[in-house]
Amino acid sequence: MADLIPIPIWNWVSKAWRSMEDLADKIDDLICTFEGGSDTTMDTIAMYMFGWMLVGLIVLGVGRYAYARFIRTKDVKEKSDTSEVTTPVLKTDVSTTDSTKPLVKESSKPVASGGKYVPPTPPVRKRLGSKSGAGVVRPTGLVKSKSSSMTHPPPTATGAESESVKWVNELFLWLYTDLVVVNELLNAWILSLNEFTKKSVAEHGVGVEFVRVLPETPPPSVSNVFCECAPNDDVTITCDCEATPALQVKAFRQKSEKVEVSHYRLNVNRFRARLNIVAITEKLLVDIKCDGWPEIKVSLAQVGSIKNNLDESQLQDVICEIVTTALRQTSLNYNLSQYPNCPRLVRHPVSPAHLLPLHYDSMLGGDKVNRRLLVKVIKANGLGASQGCKDPYCIVEVDEPAQKNQTAAKRDTNNPSWEEHFLFDITDHTTEILLEVYDKFQGGNKFLGLGIVSMDELYTNPSQRQIISLQSAPYHEEPVSGTLTVEVSSYCYNKDVQC
């Protein structure tokens, strides 16, 4: 059929070309009637140009018709067949709390939309290895990895009492370096928000549930940290917080005889508040809330099929009001004592300094503490030689000034994994880091070995990871075996003094 199509077209064009001379004569006669006897003929070149213009228009029209009729229809059909084969069906699997699971049964029938399609938010992933053992929503938005967590340095606190200021700075440093604790704090915040929004069903007829913090959430900005210590050692921390989190929320409401569920992406475009944190240092209990009237600006984006109507617009206005109220008024109570590596406020009694006679005070070289040492005890392998061990733990000790910390005991293992870090103040007189491993049992503590890290090694490489072969201590005859893996890093925290 493709060979027969050009023949009628060519016949039609030839016939039109033959009639061109008659058309030119008629136009020439028409022009002559207007011009009179002055010009009896029209310029030949102008007539040919006019004729070629007509031919070009005719060929263009025929070509466009043939393209639209035969070629374009075939391409569109092939593309539609390909898209039907390759496009997967998108499904959203959102895990909800037990309290709301029996209430909602979503309809699998898609809602008709008037335009574009917004892909659903990726399904919630359960976090493995949590303490509770249950599937917990993991908000992966604030920090991506351990290597990138310190790109945002922790804030520095100020206050009238030096011990409490030091503890607050250590607490922020611990939070900025321990991603597991941050994720569990976010989980607790989501649960507190959902607890607050439960009453919205009775007030507005609309239920709102926060599902998770989305991975693209940037870290918050914390500044102007001030701490105040009470006589009973309870610390009150106030700070300015600016954040722009992105969350996944869902709303449900009763409509006729069924429950209608809608999923949204909640963008908090502005969250600016003065946080008030009350910490009971003895029990490591913290209560976090907002002071005053925080500045909050939110926006919603539908997930899935778009419904553009007045009812949907009114529903989104109600959801924004519920979400804004929850962000302003929700308080978070959290217990940090469940983490053995959480810093504690410890009061050291100040011993009277040794006084020298007049003119001899200048002989004392002041040991200014300008640097800090971060020691992370990661794991140990092959402890206890042939006898093995029961509950191993590690003691980290630094000399000049003397400081000591201890990890938690790991039960029934010869290859414990601690993943705990400790912060020490160091001076120019600090010479070594002593690491001792013991086995904890009812009769006492059994020595399993020791390792030493010299400070001279940190002068050449301030941050390093070492696998230390455990050695026996003097006057100990027990066999020693195994290795200890640690990470040691030294940094300067006083910017005004050169370290």
Question: Taking the alpha carbons of 168, 174, 179, 184 in that order, is the dihedral positive or negative?
Answer: negative
Assigned token pair, 5: 């199509």
Q: Rounded mean pLDDT of 467-481?
A: 84
**Angle (deg, nearest 10), helices 310-329 and 179-197:** 120
Q: Rounded mean pLDDT of 51-79?
A: 80
pLDDT at 451: 92
pTM exceeds cut of 0.75: no
Question: How long is the chain?
Answer: 499
Enumerate the β-bridge partners of residue 305.
Answer: 117
Q: Rounded mean pLDDT of 488-492?
A: 82
In angstroms, the CA 171 to CA 157 distance is: 10
In this structure, are strands 221-229 and 235-243 parallel, antiparallel, or unpaired?
Answer: antiparallel
Answer whether 304's CB lies under 8 Å from 92's CB.
yes
Q: How far is CA 352 from the centre of its chain?
A: 49
- Which pLDDT band holds residue 146 (cuts at 50, 70, 90)? very low
At 94-130, the pLDDT tens digits run 343 343 333 333 333 333 334 444 444 444 444 433 3
Q: How far is CA 390 from the centre of its chain?
A: 39
Answer whether 247's CB lies under 8 Å from 121's CB.
no
Conformation bin of residue 278: beta by default, left when phi > 0, alpha when psi is -120 to 50:
beta
Q: Rounded mean pLDDT of 365-380?
A: 76
In angstroms, the CA 101 to CA 99 distance is: 6
Q: Which domains does the chain have, with CATH numbers?
A: 6-86 (no CATH), 117-338 (no CATH), 368-492 (2.60.40.150)
What are phi and psi for residue 473, nearest 5 degrees?
Answer: -90, 160
Assigned token pair, 357: 């006679």
In angstroms, the CA 410 to CA 416 distance is: 6
Q: Which residue has the tokens 């109600």?
A: 318
pLDDT at 188: 93
At 431-463, the pLDDT tens digits run 899 999 998 876 678 888 999 998 888 878 888
79: pLDDT strictly greater than 60 = no
Instruction: Give the dihedral of Cα atoms 217, 220, 221, 222; nearest 10 deg.
Output: 180
pLDDT at 42: 57
User: Residue 459 corresponds to which amino acid?
Assistant: Y
pLDDT at 104: 37
Helix (H) or strand (E) holding 486: strand 483-492
Assigned token pair, 383: 């402890």
**Which one, of 107, 106, 136, 110, lies nearest residue 124 by Cα?**
136
**Angle (deg, nearest 10), helices 44-66 and 6-35:** 150
Q: Which residue has the tokens 């009763």?
A: 254
399-404 — which CB contacts under 8 Å span 24+ positions?
399/430, 399/431, 399/432, 399/434, 400/367, 400/427, 400/429, 400/430, 400/431, 401/367, 401/369, 401/425, 401/427, 401/430
Enumerate the β-bridge partners of residue 273.
Answer: 241
In this structure, are strands 235-243 and 117-118 parallel, antiparallel, or unpaired?
Answer: unpaired
- Which pLDDT band holds residue 498 (cuts at 50, 70, 90)? low
Answer whether 407's CB lies under 8 Å from 420's CB.
yes
What is the 3-class SS of 204-273, one letter each residue?
Answer: HCCEEEEEEECCCCCCCEEEEEEEEECCCCCEEEEEEEEECCEEEEEEEEEECCEEEEEEEEEEEEEEEE
In angstroms, the CA 344 to CA 168 distance is: 9
Assigned token pair, 157: 């606190």
pLDDT at 442: 63
At 151-171, the pLDDT tens digits run 578 899 998 888 899 999 999
Burial per residue of 474-492, b for 16 or more beta-carbon CB atoms within 10 angstroms, e otherwise: eeeeeebbbbbbbebbbee
425 against 9, higher pLDDT: 425
pLDDT at 237: 94
pLDDT at 274: 93
DSSP class of residue 471 equals: B
pLDDT at 110: 38
- Residue 329 burial (C-beta neighbours within 10 Å; 0-12, 13-18, 19+): exposed
Distances (CA, A) of 480 to 262, 389, 444, 452: 62, 11, 18, 15
- Which pLDDT band holds residue 369 (cuts at 50, 70, 90)? low
Q: What's the whole-number average pLDDT of the chain?
A: 77
